[in-house]
Chain A
Amino acid sequence: MGEVSYPSHDEELLLERCRLGDRAALRELYERNVHMVVGMARQLGVAASDIDDVAQEVFVAAFRDLGKVRPGLLRAWLFRLTSYRVNDRHRHRRVREAFARLWRGTTESDPDGPEQALLRRDDARRVERILARMSRKKREVFALFELQELPGEEVAVLLGIPLDTVWSRLTHARREFTRIGRSLELFEQARASGGSSVSEKVKP
Chain B
Amino acid sequence: MNRERRSNESVEPQPLKRGGATSVDEQAAAKLIEGYPLPPPDDLTVQRIWQRVASAPELRTSANRPRWLGLLAPSLALGFAVALGLVLLRDRARPGPRAAPLVNPTPAAELAAAQGGVFFSRPAERWQPGEGGQPLAEGQSLRTDASGQAVMDIPGIASILISRGTDVAIERLYGGTFLRLSRGSVVARVSKRPPNEPFFILTHGFSVKVVGTLFQVDQDANDRTAVSVREGVVEVMGADGRSWQVGAGQEWSSDSPDQLGTSAIADPVKAFLEDALNGANPTDLDRELGALDGSGAGPRAGEPVLPSSAGLRARERSSTARKHLPPPPVLLATREPAVPPGAAPVAGNDADGAELALYALGRLRQHRLRDPQGALEVFETYRRTYPNGSLLPEVDLAVLEVEVAAGHRDQALAESVRFLASHPASERTVEVRLLRGDLLRERGDCRSALDEYRQVDAGAFAPFSEDALFETAYCQRKLGDADAARESLRQYQQRYPTGTHRDAVAKALRE
**Interface residue ranges, A against B (CB under 8 Å):** 1-2, 20-23, 26-27, 30-31, 34-35, 38-39, 42-43, 51-52, 55-56, 59-60, 63-64, 88, 91-92, 95, 98-99, 102-103, 105, 123-124, 126-127, 145-153, 163-164, 167, 170, 174, 177-178, 181-182, 186-187, 190-191, 195-199, 202-204
Contact across chains for B16 and A146 when beta carbons are under 8 A apart: yes
For residue B2, CB closer than 8 A to chain A, the reply is yes
By size class, the interface of chain B is 35 or more
Given A60-B58, A60-B59, A146-B15, are A178 and B35 also a contact pair (CB < 8 Å)? Answer: no
Contact across chains for A191 and B28 when beta carbons are under 8 A apart: yes
Which of B13, B15, B53 is most buried by chain A, counting CB atoms within 10 A of its CB?
B53
Near A by CB (< 8 A), chain B positions 44-94 give 45-46, 48-50, 52-53, 56, 58-59, 62-65, 67
Q: A196: which B residues are within 8 A, CB to CB?
A: 35
Inter-chain contact total with CB atoms closer than 8 Å:
167
Contact across chains for A174 and B26 when beta carbons are under 8 A apart: yes
B49 CB, nearest partner CB in chain A, Å? 5
Contact across chains for B36 and A147 when beta carbons are under 8 A apart: yes
Q: A164: which B residues are within 8 A, CB to CB?
A: 7-8
Contact across chains for A21 and B36 when beta carbons are under 8 A apart: no
Contact across chains for A204 and B29 when beta carbons are under 8 A apart: no
Closest residue of chain B to A103 (Cβ to Cβ) is B297
Contact across chains for B37 and A43 when beta carbons are under 8 A apart: yes
Contact across chains for B58 and A64 when beta carbons are under 8 A apart: yes
For residue B19, CB closer than 8 A to chain A, the reply is no
Given A145-B15, A152-B12, 19 more A-B residue pairs with CB atoms under 8 Å apart are A21-B64, A31-B50, A39-B38, A60-B56, A95-B271, A95-B274, A99-B275, A123-B35, A127-B33, A149-B37, A174-B16, A181-B28, A181-B32, A187-B25, A191-B28, A195-B34, A198-B35, A199-B39, A204-B38
Q: A203: which B residues are within 8 A, CB to CB?
A: 38-39, 41-42
Closest residue of chain A to B31 (Cβ to Cβ) is A195
Q: B39: which A residues are within 8 A, CB to CB?
A: 199, 203
Q: B288: which A residues are within 8 A, CB to CB?
A: 99
Closest residue of chain A to B12 (Cβ to Cβ) is A152
B208 CB, nearest partner CB in chain A, Å? 27
Contact across chains for B16 and A52 when beta carbons are under 8 A apart: no
Q: List 19 A-B contacts (CB under 8 A).
A: A2-B40, A23-B63, A26-B63, A30-B50, A39-B40, A55-B53, A92-B278, A103-B291, A146-B17, A147-B36, A151-B5, A152-B12, A167-B10, A181-B25, A181-B32, A195-B34, A196-B35, A199-B38, A203-B38
Q: A146: which B residues are within 8 A, CB to CB?
A: 15-17, 33
Cα distance A30–B59 when bound, in Å? Answer: 13
Q: B38: which A residues are within 8 A, CB to CB?
A: 39, 42, 124, 199, 202-204
Closest residue of chain A to B268 (Cβ to Cβ) is A102
Q: B335: which A residues are within 8 A, CB to CB?
A: none
Closest residue of chain A to B55 (Cβ to Cβ) is A56
Given A56-B52, A95-B278, A174-B16, are A63 and B62 also a contact pair (CB < 8 Å)? Answer: yes
Closest residue of chain B to A98 (Cβ to Cβ) is B271
A35 CB, nearest partner CB in chain B, Å? 5
Q: A182: which B residues are within 8 A, CB to CB?
A: 25
For residue B280, CB closer than 8 A to chain A, the reply is yes
Q: A126: which B residues are within 8 A, CB to CB?
A: 32
Partner of B7, one of A63, A99, A167: A167
Closest residue of chain A to B28 (Cβ to Cβ) is A187
Given A27-B50, A204-B41, are A190 and B271 also a contact pair (CB < 8 Å)? Answer: no
Contact across chains for A34 and B271 when beta carbons are under 8 A apart: no
Contact across chains for B49 and A56 when beta carbons are under 8 A apart: yes
Cα distance A182–B5 when bound, in Å? Answer: 32
The 3 closest A-B pairs by CB, nearest first: A187-B28, A178-B25, A23-B64
Given A163-B7, A187-B28, are A170 and B45 also a contact pair (CB < 8 Å)? Answer: no
Closest residue of chain A to B59 (Cβ to Cβ) is A63
Contact across chains for B274 and A181 when beta carbons are under 8 A apart: no
Q: A145: which B residues are within 8 A, CB to CB?
A: 15
For residue B463, CB closer than 8 A to chain A, the reply is no
Contact across chains for B64 and A22 when beta carbons are under 8 A apart: yes
Given A59-B49, A98-B271, A145-B15, are A64 and B33 also a contact pair (CB < 8 Å)? Answer: no
For residue B329, CB closer than 8 A to chain A, the reply is no
B15 CB, nearest partner CB in chain A, Å? 5
Contact across chains for A20 and B29 when beta carbons are under 8 A apart: no
For residue B97, CB closer than 8 A to chain A, the reply is no
Which of B37, B275, B299 is most buried by chain A, counting CB atoms within 10 A of its CB?
B37
Q: A198: which B residues are within 8 A, CB to CB?
A: 35
Contact across chains for A199 and B35 when beta carbons are under 8 A apart: yes
Contact across chains for A56 and B53 when beta carbons are under 8 A apart: yes
Closest residue of chain B to A182 (Cβ to Cβ) is B25
Partner of B32, one of A42, A190, A199: A190
Q: B423: which A residues are within 8 A, CB to CB?
A: none
